[in-house]
Amino acid sequence: MIDEAAIREIVARLSRPIASGAHTIERAAILAEGSDCAEIEAWIVREGGEPHVEGAGPPGRGLHADRATARSAPGGAAPSRYVLPASVLG
């Protein structure tokens, strides 16, 4: 079990600021931290972090829209990154 202070330190080290003032953290970087990755992801979500899935966007239109959407964002896909509110690491 990892404590909250250690998680906050890991998240601060791995995250990068974005133009909006928020921070982004790649899921691959979290996974590279080892066995505590599930606790880190849970902490991020509890703190208001929003998961982002690559390829997920508004549904398409037209004859092949359903097939293209299914290929680019499969159901239950893991997020590729999280975006944290600016206040979390403030």
pLDDT tier, 55 (very low <50, low <70, confident <90, very high otherwise): low
Q: What is the dihedral of CA 25, 26, 30, 33, to 10 degrees?
A: -100
- State residue 57's pLDDT score: 54
pLDDT tier, 78 (very low <50, low <70, confident <90, very high otherwise): confident
Burial class (CB in 10 A: 0-12, 13-18, 19+), 3: exposed
- State residue 56's pLDDT score: 52
Tokens 């509890």 found at: 46
Buried (b) or exposed (e) across 40-66, using 16+ Cβ within 10 A?
Answer: bbebbeebebebebeeeeeeeeeeeee
Q: Are 52 and 80 in contact (CB under 8 A)?
A: yes
Alpha-carbon span 51 to 79, nearest angstrom: 5
Q: Is the pLDDT of residue 62 over 80?
A: no
pLDDT tier, 65 (very low <50, low <70, confident <90, very high otherwise): low
- State residue 64's pLDDT score: 54
Can you tell me the mean pLDDT for 49-68?
Answer: 65
